[in-house]
Structure 1
Amino acid sequence: MAGAAGQHSAVFASMLANQLIQRGYAVEDIFHGTAFDANLLAEEAPTYPLVETVKFFERAAVLTKNENLGFQLGMEQDIRRAGLICYVGLAAPTAGGFLANFARYSRVASPALEVDKSHLQQGGVISWDYAISPSLKRRQYVEFAAASLLFTLRRFTIGPISPRLVRFQHNRRSQLNEIETYFGCKVEFGAATNGFTFDPKDLDLPLTSADEQLLSVLQRYGDQVLADIARQSPGLVIAVERAISEQLGAGTVTLESVASGMGMSPRTLSRKLAAEGTSFFRLLENLRKSLSKSYLRDTNLVLAEIAFLLGYSGLGSFNEAFKRWTGHSPGQFRTE
């Protein structure tokens, strides 16, 4: 159901599918190997687990052989199809009001979307993350979301507006000029969180769509929806993966340190993970494997730096683990 943890509006997956059809791709090729089928195209307000939409965007980039697919789609699509989360923002009097309401009502669109506006008013900063596994590749969807959010803001703001800085958690080392040209500022990859930093003065720019009465109506409705949504934490496995990810570069990650950070004993955490069909060490291994491939493909970090970021005591330990996972050394994998 729509309110379940991990469920997310899938209107942008539908939008992407329609774009691919218009470009001549066959329906069966578009949906092959995904959680979606042609029924997605007929659904007015589809909801699926967010991970399926994220995977769908990545699959589409492979299908089209276009590494900038998500970003390019976002450059020309506003987010009004997302419903309340957009319209309650557009009814606000200013650009800052748009972003503040987007953050406030983000959970209406998805419990998996986590938006932080605590530094918006003073510092012009808005940040967001997704309550999904850190090992899940998400570059296409995240770049689409950022580009389309800015496209919408620019479309309805009276006067030019561009961020001072754009931040992405994922890494990227190619085709950067197109991205920085669109955003009009420096783009930082491998950041702690996704986000924009605006000049606080620009957030006072008025919106052409401002409507005080409509804003009042939409806010009342949005508050009722939020009141009806039970606040649900991400699943245990995702929570553990995120905790591991946060601790990796800070030193040795242990069952004890993660369990302590989650407010439980190592024995209790192990028992709960066993009930989920996994273990702490399996999650740690899988996350390291996924992140190592991302660092090797998408960054210019030297191998010793990657080993450190993955929490290994030395390069030898990383090399040995990577050969066990892939049958190749990290250097061979990077040059393939």
Structure 2
Amino acid sequence: MSSTGFNAEWLSDPEARMPLAVEEHLWTRAADLTQKPSFGLFAAGLIRPGEFDVLDYAVRTAPDLRTALQRLARYNRLLHDLATFEIIPIGETTRIEHRFDVVGVRPCPQAAEFTLASLVVVASQLCGKPVKALSVEFAHAALDKLEAYREVFGVTPRVKCSVSCLVLPSELLDRPIPAADPGLSRIVMAHAEQLLAASHCPPENIVTLVRRQLAEGMAHGQTSLQAVARCLNLSERSLQRRLDDQGTRFAYLMDEVRRELAMRYIADEHLALGEVVYLLGFADPSSFHRAFKRWTGITPAAARRSRH
């Protein structure tokens, strides 16, 4: 603690927040002292129910893994001011992206690995059997031998990507959790909402909320201003005004999210271009082709060929 700037008094203060730099120093020193390069993966394997207090129980009492992830995305601010999760359905798969809600700032490698590994660990505990990822990406270089990652995730990760993310089967996420407890879930959720309302953590950025809603609703046609405002419990006028205050517009965010998703879908050769058109919510292939050429200067087919 002394070498990282951690104040021991924080341990007895439930409202304490440690600076991000201290957290990063703790991760680095833990890896050094234990001589475990992938200490984040190791730490995730030690997670037991209840260790993250109300957030943990909100997640663990959910009826299915998708709801559990949605609760994680909403209540994670009870533990961390910057970390956000974006849940993106992509046909038969679902992509979970982990980032910080501040431009230019990323989770440190150990924290990123702990976070994605913890998703697999907790999902396995909820399902009562091992859960393996379809793919894993990290924004940093590998910290350990690739076998260490394969043991946790079941696949070899891609590294030095634009964002850290985990991809799981949608069928798995929508399958009921055997030990789900609806009664306890209602109690925990009510308490979590009270804590969120009373907490001193900053409110989630409206731009982040809109981007998340657009990403989750893109393939289901839930991307109109009216639909997004309804999901966020805002009037259309209030939503537009709050986006104006952030210096952006709804149409710009829609275009931005579509462009980012398009790049990911094009990279996935299991998806036909016709499926990409559907997943992005375009009315027809020609509309998608025009948009893609505006974003990149080339056609979707050419972009896919260029990856070979």
Moved more, 110-119 or 32-41: 32-41
For the 8 Å contact 1:113–1:128, the answer to whether it is kept is yes
- Partner in structure 2 of residue 310 of structure 1: none
SS in 1 for 2:24: helix
SS in 1 for 2:5: coil
- Partner in structure 2 of residue 252 of structure 1: none
Q: TM-score, normalised by structure 1?
A: 0.54
For the 8 Å contact 2:99–2:106, the answer to whether it is kept is no
| Map 1:234-245 → 2, pairs under 5 A | none
1:156 maps onto 2:117 in alignment: no
Partner amino acid, structure 1, of 2:193: D
Structure 1's 38 and 223: CA in aligned 2 closer, same or farther, altered over 3 A? closer
1:80 maps onto 2:50 in alignment: yes
| Map 1:282-301 → 2, pairs under 5 A | none
For the 8 Å contact 2:98–2:112, the answer to whether it is kept is no
- Of 147, 153, 157, 1:183 maps to 153
- Partner in structure 1 of residue 95 of structure 2: 125
- Of 178, 194, 210, 1:224 maps to 194
Q: In 2, Cα distance between the equivalents of 1:79 and 1:96? A: 18
Q: In 2, Cα distance between the equivalents of 1:53 and 1:90? A: 25
Structure 1's 102 and 66: CA in aligned 2 closer, same or farther, altered over 3 A? same
Residue 212 of structure 1, CA deviation: 0.4
Partner amino acid, structure 2, of 1:179: Y
| Map 1:1-336 → 2, pairs under 5 A | 31-39=1-9, 46-78=16-48, 80-119=50-89, 123-131=93-101, 134=104, 138-172=108-142, 174-228=144-198, 230-231=202-203, 263=247
Structure 1's 53 and 228: CA in aligned 2 closer, same or farther, altered over 3 A? same
SS in 1 for 2:158: strand
Structure 1's 208 and 76: CA in aligned 2 closer, same or farther, altered over 3 A? farther
SS in 2 for 1:187: coil
For the 8 Å contact 2:146–2:156, the answer to whether it is kept is no
Q: In 2, Cα distance between the equivalents of 1:116 and 1:167? A: 14
- Partner in structure 1 of residue 251 of structure 2: none
Q: TM-score, normalised by structure 2?
A: 0.58
Structure 1's 87 and 55: CA in aligned 2 closer, same or farther, altered over 3 A? same
- Partner in structure 2 of residue 7 of structure 1: none
Partner amino acid, structure 2, of 1:231: P
Structure 1's 105 and 135: CA in aligned 2 closer, same or farther, altered over 3 A? closer
Unaligned runs of 5+ in 1: 1-30, 234-261, 265-336
Structure 1's 108 and 87: CA in aligned 2 closer, same or farther, altered over 3 A? same
Residue 71 of structure 1, CA deviation: 1.5
Q: In 1, Cα distance between the equivalents of 2:22 and 2:113? A: 16
Percent identity of paired positions between Structure 1 and Structure 2: 21
Partner amino acid, structure 2, of 1:92: A
CA-atom RMSD in angstroms: 3.1
SS in 2 for 1:198: strand
SS in 1 for 2:27: helix
For the 8 Å contact 1:116–1:126, the answer to whether it is kept is yes
For the 8 Å contact 2:84–2:100, the answer to whether it is kept is yes
Residue 35 of structure 1, CA deviation: 2.0
Q: In 2, Cα distance between the equivalents of 1:223 and 1:173? A: 37
Residue 43 of structure 1, CA deviation: 5.4
Q: In 2, Cα distance between the equivalents of 1:77 and 1:222? A: 20
For the 8 Å contact 2:149–2:155, the answer to whether it is kept is no
For the 8 Å contact 1:96–1:121, the answer to whether it is kept is no
